[in-house]
Each structure stands twice: as structure tokens, then as C-alpha cells.
Amino acid sequence: MLFSEKAFEREHIVVTGASRGIGREAALQLVSSGAFVTLTGRNRKKLEEVEGECQSRQGEVQVVIADLNDEKDRRKLVKSVEEFAPVTGLVNSAGILNSGEADQISEEELRSVMEVNYFSTAFLTQSLYEEMKKRKRGAVVNVTSLSGLRGTDGNLAYCASKFALTGFTQSFAHEAIRSNIRVNAVAPGFVDTEMGRQAVEAKAGREGRTFEEQWELAKAGNPSGRITTSSEVASAILFLLSEASGNIVGESMKISGGSVMR
């Protein structure tokens, strides 16, 4: 574990998309490092499973079921967060995948990806920022992607949404730091999660390969020769939430196995 069991003592971190993948792993590492954590997402069963795992590590957590596209649900979440403990950090990990070329994506699909991956994240961040600003202390980490730093084939909607989130991260960072609130992002490539495997499977389908063939190609495309784990991404998130990254502002930390070096 990267941080000690008291590294985030008395910190209250909200984690969206906490029911699986990167969000789940970030929540587990945070409670293991002493944080209070609010877990939020739409899947009650999976969130309660993560809650149980957190509690088995003696973590103090609350679960708030919320669809972040819904303004009422966002208000409910913010109210629950403030009643639990003053918020000091936010991990925006909620997101969905869409694979398709420009002539294949419907207006509904494009709007849906932008709503989940960008708009709902921006709106929730605005609300929790108001609370952090009162105390002039906090950190926000957005989970973007290498797809938010360069375009890729068959990835139009997803890339657009992640580019938007990268821009939001940089612009918001300029404003928030005036209130001693740091805003950064992590930008992983393929990650060994359910969603990451879906992305590899979609690419395999477009290129006429099996999943196994595409997975091996993805590994070979990284100088490290392997796929990033959710634990590695979560550790980077904790670093950016911590005082160890005190003068890192507006950055998108690439986690690419060396595939993108710029």
C-alpha cells in the first residue's frame, strides 16, 4: 500500500463510480489509509458489496445511490455528503464507454456519453466545490483517459467527452487553486477492468480479431509490456489527493506503460 493507514485520517473523500473498477479500488485504498469515504453510483447491490469490503478494512463509509445525470439525485448526494462529514476531496470516476465511428453514432448515444462523462461530473464538482471553498481546502481528481489527450479510431464520443473533461480540469484548476483547492486528473490507457476489457473487445471487433489477440496487441503496444491495473491508477489518485502533490495543479497524469510520452 502506497500510504500509511493514517495518511488520510479525518479526510472525507467522495468517490463517484465507486461500484466497480477504478472507483472501487480508489475507495478501498482510501479507507485503508484512514479516510471517511462516500461511495456513490447507480448499482445498489455492487455498492453495498464495496461498502462491505471497506468495512472489513475497518473503514468508515456511507453509500448514496444516485444517478448523477439527475439534478435531484445530485442535490441529495451533496446533502448526504455534508451531513456525513465536511468534504475535503472528490474523485470523479463515473463514466461510460462508447465505441463507434462518426457515421455510426446516433445523436442519443453522443448526448448520453457527454452527459455521463462530462456534464454530470462538472455539475457535481460545482456543487461540492462550493462546500470545499468555504473551508479553503480540498482536492479534486478527475479520471480522464489517454483518449482525452489524443484522438483514436472508432472512439469519437468517448474521446470528445474525455477531451472536455481534460479541458475542464485545466480551466477549473486555475480558479480553484485560489481557494487552496487542487484540481488534477489521471489519464490511463487500457486498464484491466470490466470497462477496459469492453474497450479491447470493441477494438477487436472493429479490426477483425479475437479478444485474446487484441489483448496481446494492447500489451505489446506498451513499452512496459503489460496492461495497467486498477490498483496502479488508484494509487496515482491517492497521490494527487494527498499533500505529497501539493504544488501539482491542473495536470493530467498519464498512466500508459510508456505508450504516450509527451
Average pLDDT score, the chain: 94
**Can you give the pLDDT at residue 99?**
79
**DSSP assignment, residue 117?**
I
**Can you give the pLDDT at residue 105?**
87
235 residue type, one letter:
S
CA angle centred on 80, ends 47 and 76, rounded to 5°: 90
Distance (Å, whole) CA 222 – CA 185:
21
Q: Hey, which residues does 38 pair with through a beta bridge?
A: 14, 62
Active-site residue list: 158
pLDDT in tens, 136-167: 999 999 999 999 999 888 889 999 999 999 99
**Can you give the pLDDT at residue 97?**
84
Indicate if the pLDDT at residue 169 is higher than 80: yes
Distance (Å, whole) CA 239 – CA 177:
17
Angle of helix 156-176 relative to helix 107-114, nearest 10 degrees, comes to: 30
Q: Which CATH architecture has domain 12-189+229-250?
A: 3-Layer(aba) Sandwich (3.40)
**Can you give the pLDDT at residue 37?**
97
**Can you give the pLDDT at residue 262?**
77
Q: What is the mean pLDDT of residues 131-136?
A: 94
Distance (Å, whole) CA 52 – CA 58:
10
Q: How confident is the model at residue 83 (pLDDT cuts 50, 70, 90)?
A: very high
Q: What is the mean pLDDT of residues 23-29?
A: 97
Q: Which of 61-70, 152-161, 202-211 has the highest mean pLDDT?
A: 61-70
The single residue listed with the C-alpha cell 479510431 is: 153
Say if CB 90 and CB 84 are below 8 A apart: no
**Can you give the pLDDT at residue 177?**
98
Give the CA distances from residue 215 to residues 20, 192, 211, 260, in Å, rounded to whole numbers and listed in that order.
20, 10, 6, 18
Give the CA distances from residue 22 to residues 29, 80, 140, 201, 231, in Å, rounded to whole numbers and listed in that order.
11, 23, 15, 19, 7
Return the closest-CA partner of residue 178 out of 146, 137, 119, 223.
Answer: 137
**Can you give the pLDDT at residue 1?**
61
**Can you give the pLDDT at residue 200?**
92
| 153's grid cell | 479510431
**Can you give the pLDDT at residue 26?**
97
Say if CB 57 and CB 31 are below 8 A apart: yes
pLDDT in tens, 37-49: 999 999 999 999 9
Q: What is the mean pLDDT of residues 10-20?
A: 96
Query: Per-domain residue ranges for the chain?
Result: 12-189+229-250, 192-227
pLDDT in tens, 94-120: 999 887 788 888 999 999 999 999 999
